A and B are shown apart, each in its own frame.
Chain A
Amino acid sequence: EAGVAQSPRYKIIEKRQSVAFWCNPISGHATLYWYQQILGQGPKLLIQFQNNGVVDDSQLPKDRFSAERLKGVDSTLKIQPAKLEDSAVYLCASAGQGSTEQYFGPGTRLTVT
């Protein structure tokens, strides 16, 4: 089966600009996660969706980050405006209904200058 797809793979922007990332989970996976992975650290959960509803967004900086999964399939994560400290890899993962095994996409490497 096809894995989790993410685009773009790389993005360079200046601070205060906006950026959006896209994720297409594994077909049929109800749960979708967005993680932020700063260089040298483990991934940190930003938001978790169950179908098109938000399950956990407690660690999402809501003043600048937003995410949506309108039809319960694809998802977008947006940062507006970006800060230097947002430079990181943004990983999307998905899991099947009732499963704890998460499948990760390749990530989007964001550099904010």
Chain B
Amino acid sequence: GESVGLHLPTLSVQEGDNSIINCAYSNSASDYFIWYKQESGKGPQFIIDIRSNMDKRQGQRVTVLLNKTVKHLSLQIAATQPGDSAVYFCAETYSARQLTFGSGTQLTVLP
């Protein structure tokens, strides 16, 4: 089946800087996308979602951008903090079918 992938496996940022994590998806029929954060030894935690009829959605310190033309999704974290260090996954689905997860990006926040 089609899969969701991430451009970079690791990302290091200085504390206080903004982080941008990218995701490419291949299923043009996908209509719902989610970003998850997974800390070591824990299950994935929902961060933010976006439906295909939107191109931007903001939460607390996080923004998700969706570009359907190039099938690209990004997660922006403002003023990155040490507690943001984790693996970030994008996931996609269509018509409420099963979620397909990407392979993840390890975000490391440097002091």
Residues of A within 8 A of B (CB): 4, 40-45, 48, 56, 91, 93, 100-107
By a CB distance below 8 angstroms, the chain B residues around A100 are 32, 34, 49, 93, 96
Q: Which of B54-62, B71-79, B100-108 contacts A (4 or more CB under 8 A)?
A: B100-108
A109 and B102 alpha carbons, distance in the complex (Å): 20
Contact status B101-A43, CB under 8 Å: yes
Docked complex Cα distance between A4 and B45 (Å): 12
- The contact of B98 among A41, A42, A48, A104, by CB within 8 Å, is A48
Nearest-Cβ distance from residue B54 to partner chain A, whole angstroms: 15
Contact A56 B43 (CB under 8 A): no
Interchain CA distance A18-B74 in the complex, whole Å: 41
CA distance A59 to B93 in the complex (A): 16
Contacting residues, chain B, for A106 (C-beta < 8 A): 41-43
A41 to B32 Cα, complex, angstroms? 21
Contact between chains at A104 and B102 (CB < 8 Å): no
Chain B residues near A91 (CB-CB < 8 A)? 43-44
Centre residue among A45, A91, A93, A100 by max chain B CB count within 10 A: A100
Q: Report how far A96 CA is from B37 CA in the complex, Å.
A: 20
Q: A41 touching B104 by the CB < 8 A rule?
A: yes
User: A102 to nearest B CB, angstroms?
Assistant: 7
Q: Does the CB pair B43–A105 fall under 8 Å?
A: yes
Q: Which residue of A lies closest to B51 (CB)?
A: A100
Decide: A102 and B99 in contact? CB cutoff 8 A. yes
Known contacts A100-B32, A100-B93; is A41 also within 8 Å of B43 by CB? Answer: no
Looking at the complex, which one of B96, B97, B103 makes contact with A42 (CB distance below 8 Å)? B103
Beyond A100-B32, A101-B46, A105-B43, whether A41 also contacts B103 by CB under 8 A is: yes
B91 adjacent to chain A (CB < 8 Å): yes
Assembly CA distance A93 to B101 (angstroms): 14
B96 contacts A43, C-beta separation under 8 Å: no
